[in-house]
Amino acid sequence: MLHLVLTLCLAAEPGTCADRLLPTPLTPAACTAEAGARAAAWLADHPGLTLHGHRCAPLADLPALTLTRVAPGLFVHHGIAALPDQKNLGRIANLGVAIGQDAIAVIDAGASRAEAEALYAAIRARSDLPIRALILTHMHPDHSFGADLFREAGAEILGAPKLAAGIEARAEAWMDSYPAQVGHGALIGTRIALPDRGVAIGTLDLGGLVLDLTAEPTAHTDNDLTVFHAASGTLFTGDLVFNDLLPTLDGSVTGWLDWLDHPRPELRQIVPGHGPAPLPWPEGAKPTRTYLTRLADDIRTAIAAGRPMSEAIRHTHPEDAARWQGYAISHPRNASAAYAELEWE
């Protein structure tokens, strides 16, 4: 089977171009016969782009992410543990794939249409089963911006009940700031997709492989959702656990610490949102817990001493700065978020 590949450029920046893959397998004859009409239909739905050609290509010729098996039927793509920039193109989050006997589920979509396409190519190198669901662990762009590609591939997009509102509230600001961070070319063809369905607690049976979905109380964000594979004791934590890259607080530091302190004897390993995976539980979550505990302690001390937020956020720990990627940028933001939360305690 072949896939249709479009060469597209930004209308506003004609020198910035990229290949985009349409995630529908086609026979060689169908690809040739339908290419023009399919390209025109896709383009009509994606304003701001110009078409500079199209071709039919086998997936093996296209960029693919690397998938590592972490349990029977479960695979992880390891993101680069750094803040998004023009070198890593925002591809910093760990992404998951679950392949059952009947269907496939994807856990997080990556930072762009381009990253999602490369994840799709990696999945199709292993299996032709239908991609039934894309599960988003939370709203942040590095996890969610590739979602539209999987909808096009036929997946239902699932997330926590508050995910849609979280994305809607921030979509405009993200589309203003994110292209400058990762480069306009990295986002060609990327558009924000809202989930089809909110799930508080749910089960997804892929045929011999069952995933349990749980929307969590406000912690990293107010729309965190975890994915558990009971057969292997594997929990995809999303950004409830970070390693190497500093945790970013966009929800509640007390809620996050509550989540980390909860005993979970059913867990054998976790796949965190960032950094090496899999990791043992609870050891793998310890750096996140240590950082957030100290953050909360420091901010409570500052508030008790009557120090203003502007002063509290300047307080840093050299050992944290040495240990965590992104500390200089993310720590002051975390401190101000924690201050705003804890001053009302």
By beta-carbon proximity to Zn ion, the closer residue of 78 and 140 is 140
By beta-carbon proximity to Zn ion, the closer residue of 190 and 248 is 248
Min. distance of Cβ 137 from Zn ion in angstroms? 8
Per DSSP, the residues of 26-90 read: E-HHHHHHHHHHHHHHHHHTSTTEEEEEEEEE-GGGS-----EEEETTEEEEPPPSS---TTTTT
Min. distance of Cβ 272 from Zn ion in angstroms? 11
In whole angstroms, what is the distance from residue 84 CA to residue 91 CA?
7
By beta-carbon proximity to Zn ion, the closer residue of 242 and 339 is 242
In whole angstroms, what is the distance from residue 206 CA to residue 216 CA?
23
Min. distance of Cβ 238 from Zn ion in angstroms? 7
Min. distance of Cβ 140 from Zn ion in angstroms? 4
Task: Tell which phi-psi region holds residue 326, choosing left (phi > 0), alpha (psi between -120 and 50) or beta.
Answer: left
Burial class (CB in 10 A: 0-12, 13-18, 19+), 318: exposed
Min. distance of Cβ 25 from Zn ion in angstroms? 32
By beta-carbon proximity to Zn ion, the closer residue of 42 and 178 is 178
Question: How many residues of this chain interact with Zn ion, rule: CB under 5 A?
Answer: 2
In whole angstroms, what is the distance from residue 311 CA to residue 319 CA?
20
Asked if 98 and 105 count as a contact pair (C-beta separation under 8 A), the reply is yes
> Site residues for Zn ion, window 214-253 (CB under 5 A)?
239
Min. distance of Cβ 273 from Zn ion in angstroms? 6
> Site residues for Zn ion, window 258-317 (CB under 5 A)?
none
Q: Which stretch binds Zn ion (CB under 5 A): 29-37, 135-143, 200-208, 227-235?
A: 135-143
In the DSSP assignment, the letter for residue 258 is H
By beta-carbon proximity to Zn ion, the closer residue of 77 and 140 is 140
By beta-carbon proximity to Zn ion, the closer residue of 113 and 220 is 220
In whole angstroms, what is the distance from residue 12 CA to residue 187 CA?
14
By beta-carbon proximity to Zn ion, the closer residue of 289 and 300 is 289
The first and second tokens of residue 285, run together, are 């979550």
Kindly tell me which residue out of 20, 113, 124, 140 binds Zn ion, with binding defined by CB under 5 A. Answer: 140
Min. distance of Cβ 92 from Zn ion in angstroms? 10
Q: What angle do CA 229, 236, 295 make, to 5 degrees?
A: 145
Where do contacts with Zn ion occur on this chain (CB under 5 A)? 140, 239
